[in-house]
Amino acid sequence: MNNMNKLKAFALAFLLLTLVTAIILSFTLGLTHPLPWVFIVALGIVIVLNKKMTESQFVTWKEEYSVGIKSIDTDHKKLLQLINRLQTSSIYQTGEAFDKEALDELIAYTKFHFAREEKMMEENGYPDFDAHKQQHINMTDQVVQKIKEYEDDHEKTIEDLLDYLKNWLINHINGTDKKYSAFLLEKGVK
Ligand SMILES: [Fe+2]
Ligand SMILES: [Fe+2]
């Protein structure tokens, strides 16, 4: 677990323990006393906020991401799932082997997906093929670079990598991929 996550987990555990202790102790004042109920509400708020903060780190598929081509949408959904798997691994610290496995699967599927898109674009004579392919190359290079950093310094870069992947993928799916898909759909690709 990296130091920041350790600190957050420790702070949360400490807060929960303090609130539970405060609830138990304040009940000695009697059930009609407002203090234990105030602590119970505070405990509820902390739990809900923590759940919301955890959930906000995951990416969810939205219908607006659809490029209208089934195989590509399926790939994009799978990529988001794989990012979430890596995110789960990072949050719950399921171990370095699990991180590596999730990362390897994500990289392998990204390469497979890029190859599928590039083949479709090339076969159909997409005019911006070179620029699009270059974006894929740049992204792959960046990820390789970030993995190297991650391997050298486990403390921070898995989060960096996740942020980069989430932003890049959502922007790419929602922008660049939609340009070729509009062209391919006109050509009758489904
Ligand atoms: Fe794509
Ligand atoms: Fe693409």
> Is CATH 1.20.120.50 the right assignment for the domain spanning 63-186?
yes
Relative orientation angle of helices 129-152 and 157-171, to the nearest 10 degrees: 170
- The token pair that represents 57 in the structure block: 């780190």
Instruction: Dump pLDDT digits (tens) for 19-58.
Output: 999 999 999 999 899 999 999 999 999 999 999 998 999 9
| CA 166 to centroid of ligand 2, rounded, Å | 14
Nearest-ligand number for the alpha carbon of 133: 2
How far does the centroid of ligand 2 lie from the alpha carbon of residue 114, in Å? 6
Top-ranked range on mean pLDDT: pick from 14-18, 97-101, 145-149: 14-18
In the reported structure, the alpha carbon of residue 89 is separated from the centroid of ligand 1 by a whole-number distance in angstroms of 24
Is the per-residue pLDDT at 111 higher than 90? yes
Are the CB atoms for 181 and 67 separated by under 8 Å? yes
Q: What is the pLDDT of residues 153-187, one digit of tens each?
A: 766 678 888 999 999 999 999 999 999 999 999 98
Taken in order 93, 97, 100, 104, the sign of the CA dihedral is: negative
Q: How far apart are CA 173 and CA 33, in angstroms?
A: 55
